[in-house]
Structure 1
């Protein structure tokens, strides 16, 4: 087995483990910590670090009610609600704290559940944020965050992983991009924003952007290639980002380490955070993304009358990132009717980013002579032969954008084809005609096609011209 394959196996296995809901990092941490004992009743309430969550004097509650012999409900002056047991006025046992309303959170939006000893949270706990739809699994010691933590979205997707020591983030933290397939590794400030030297890994885990971050944004970065990965405790060596030498970056964190990653810089071009706006697609529209340069190229499409198309520059595996799709950011008006072909706002290149924003490539940026920072807009449409699909993505230069991901293995020089997923009633005639032909090629009868037409009309509320059928 090639050495670089071993590096990727190690890195993939590490990511698989930290993302698995079944991988209990809290148990590992507590077993490896000889000083930790969740059942230890000899807890010092005067710890030098201020406890974040505590119930140390029930007499301060403005409202007290006893649900049964073992459970009380206490409401404090600041709005904090405690539901759980008490002993000598101190919180005890498994309990819940409903946190008070703040400038950022409404009442009841944040709840923490865990085990209280002498009024202080101790051991594994869960912080639920109903506004962000996240759950944070975390360890406390004497009311202070102390150990590994993981933040999951409601569906069970990991979005962040790292360590606290004495209430503060320590060492490298992992954050997973919004498309759930790109990765940031670096140090964070108390607001959980990246600061200093940060690694960004593309989904293939081989291509990277390494650079300096301030307030969570890339100030200056350079492309690099992963050449080694191992569990260790090395320090940063080599020529540094932007040079031609090797960069060895330790991601070792307190108690349970991250892998140490070794990179080779692959170019001298410098990039920085440059998200599009409604007036500008990029400050550097001709600065190509190095991953795309290695993966795709543009030439005339093999589809008649389609113009230029996108082709694979190498073999691309199923599930791999093919290319990026950036564009002008258009804020959608929820009160406005759907945009239809022929409307002033219609564009063949317009793509939904989220419920509030669309991405679009205006006419003056459709030619690669004017814009080639991303190439996703060059992929042509096909119902029958599509081999790729649109997918959310996050990039340190472009921010949250869209991407194209392979649905199957794609051979070198094969054309990249996607379904544009237009609403059929709003789509241009060529799209509607292709849809009908696709259904005919599948062997559907006229009656079956007509029923699908009526179904599409009921979904959109827009009539599809009968003469097309």
Structure 2
């Protein structure tokens, strides 16, 4: 096993922004103090490697049926797992002491709907917040303070889950977003001690990555002991972050894990310094990257560029170095950024990032000798694809496009994506491939293809001319 680098230091020795550093040593602030808060994992695991156990823990944290019970004895809070995350049980509350259902209205328009105890000091139900956010808070109140498990639902921010003691947040608190794709809707996990966030916070990013760092009241990840965990849950960028943004860091790999107050803490091996240090490097209209030849370490383990097998004219293509399952993120697609409302249509490499921004590769950067920081632009088009466009909030490039597998891809397979170009403005090569697909795969005659063109004109008012 490789030597584990714990970066041992005290809090006062943490790295300043302007200090010349060899390694981002402050991650040990969590590792060296783990015994102070350490608890055993709250359930057994059949996983042997760190990545498998991280995935298992994230799935558990993403499950709304999962709860951690709090108990207090001798002034100490104890955590225990009370609901199997694989079960579809609901939180059970003893309502035998409560009266019938009532509704209580407040002067500001909010109202409570639920049940009161006979003495009126305890109530169980939901508070409806009337306003722009339209929040709902469900749980048990004792003397007007939340007590025990509670959850808050908001259309904008998702659902918050956590426990309270005398109105103060205590224990593991989570925020789940609206997505239902595995653990990718997990937005936030941290541990609260008497309403104060303590220890390590996990923050979900677009595309399945996570930011990890010291818990802060504003919910931002900041400090010299922070980590960006790639969607493979193995590769990381370790270093200094400020308000969720990388200041300086280097690549590393997760080797082991630990648990602190039920929060999973990754432990990494030696930094991979031969790839150099990383900085925030978001592209603009005129600059694709400040370091266009610094290849992303995570991506370099996953894909490689070779001559395409699509046809003789396809040039270079992108090929898998490892196996990909359906839903796996394969590679990155960075480029210069255009406003989507611009007059021109960009190059053949132009794809839409969102409703406002397009990503494009200028002609002078299509060759790997000029740009290899990301390689998603080398994935060729097919009307029978095995991958699709996606998005990822990347530690270095910011929000960019990516490529995600839509079927199982074996090592050596070429990565193929349907470019989705509108046929009315598509280049000639794209139209030729469409005609070949119609004839060879859809078994359409020339008359069938002309009929399809006429339907496009009838529906969209766009004349489509194809090389039949």
Counterpart position of 1:365: 365
1:72 aligns with 2:104: yes
Counterpart position of 1:416: 415
Counterpart position of 2:374: 374
Counterpart position of 2:166: 142
How many Å separate the matches in 2 of 1:450 and 1:318? 38
Judge conservation of contact 1:19–1:158 (CA < 8 Å) in 2: yes
1:8 aligns with 2:16: no
How many Å separate the matches in 1 of 2:160 and 2:455? 42
Counterpart position of 1:340: none
Give the C-alpha shift of residue 326 in structure 1.
0.8
- Secondary structure, counterpart of 2:53 in structure 1: helix
How many Å separate the matches in 2 of 1:451 and 1:166? 69
Judge conservation of contact 2:47–2:53 (CA < 8 Å) in 1: no
Give the C-alpha shift of residue 373 in structure 1.
1.1
How many Å separate the matches in 1 of 2:364 and 2:160? 45
Q: Which has the larger displacement, 314-323 or 396-405?
A: 314-323
Judge conservation of contact 1:316–1:406 (CA < 8 Å) in 2: no
Give the C-alpha shift of residue 397 in structure 1.
0.7
Counterpart position of 1:189: 216
Q: Would the alpha carbon gap of residues 110 and 328 (structure 1) be closer, same or farther in structure 2, given more than 3 Å must change?
A: farther
Judge conservation of contact 1:86–1:92 (CA < 8 Å) in 2: yes
- TM-score (norm. length: structure 1): 0.74
1:113-133 C-alpha deviation (Å, 9 max, x unpaired): 33222122222222223234x
How many Å separate the matches in 2 of 1:444 and 1:324? 35
How many Å separate the matches in 1 of 2:253 and 2:165? 40
Work out which structure has the larger RCO, using CA pairs closer than 8 Å and 6 or more positions apart in sequence: 2
How many Å separate the matches in 1 of 2:255 and 2:77? 38
What is the aligned counterpart of 2:155 among 130, 138, 148?
Answer: 130
How many Å separate the matches in 1 of 2:127 and 2:358? 41
How many Å separate the matches in 2 of 1:435 and 1:194? 47
How many Å separate the matches in 2 of 1:317 and 1:451? 39
Q: CA RMSD in A?
A: 3.1
Give the C-alpha shift of residue 93 in structure 1.
3.0
Matching of residues 165-180 of structure 1 within 5 Å? 165-179=193-207
Matching of residues 423-438 of structure 1 within 5 Å? 423-438=422-437
How many Å separate the matches in 2 of 1:440 and 1:33? 71
Give the C-alpha shift of residue 395 in structure 1.
1.4
- Secondary structure, counterpart of 1:270 in structure 2: coil
How many Å separate the matches in 1 of 2:228 and 2:459? 41
How many Å separate the matches in 2 of 1:135 and 1:348? 41
- TM-score (norm. length: structure 2): 0.74
1:140-178 C-alpha deviation (Å, 9 max, x unpaired): 222222222221222443222222222222211222221
Q: Would the alpha carbon gap of residues 95 and 176 (structure 1) be closer, same or farther in structure 2, given more than 3 Å must change?
A: closer
What is the aligned counterpart of 2:313 among 280, 305, 308?
Answer: 305
Q: Which has the larger displacement, 343-352 or 431-440?
A: 343-352
Q: Which has the larger displacement, 402-411 or 274-283?
A: 402-411
How many Å separate the matches in 2 of 1:150 and 1:450? 55
Q: Would the alpha carbon gap of residues 155 and 304 (structure 1) be closer, same or farther in structure 2, given more than 3 Å must change?
A: same
Q: Would the alpha carbon gap of residues 143 and 293 (structure 1) be closer, same or farther in structure 2, given more than 3 Å must change?
A: same
Judge conservation of contact 2:329–2:405 (CA < 8 Å) in 1: yes
How many Å separate the matches in 2 of 1:304 and 1:168? 62
How many Å separate the matches in 2 of 1:454 and 1:81? 58
Q: Would the alpha carbon gap of residues 388 and 146 (structure 1) be closer, same or farther in structure 2, given more than 3 Å must change?
A: same
Give the C-alpha shift of residue 349 in structure 1.
0.9
Judge conservation of contact 2:285–2:336 (CA < 8 Å) in 1: yes
1:93 aligns with 2:134: no
1:275 aligns with 2:307: no
Q: Which has the larger displacement, 6-15 or 392-401?
A: 6-15
Q: Would the alpha carbon gap of residues 69 and 381 (structure 1) be closer, same or farther in structure 2, given more than 3 Å must change?
A: closer
Q: Would the alpha carbon gap of residues 459 and 332 (structure 1) be closer, same or farther in structure 2, given more than 3 Å must change?
A: farther
Counterpart position of 2:69: 29
- Secondary structure, counterpart of 2:314 in structure 1: coil
Q: Would the alpha carbon gap of residues 457 and 83 (structure 1) be closer, same or farther in structure 2, given more than 3 Å must change?
A: farther
Counterpart position of 1:324: 332
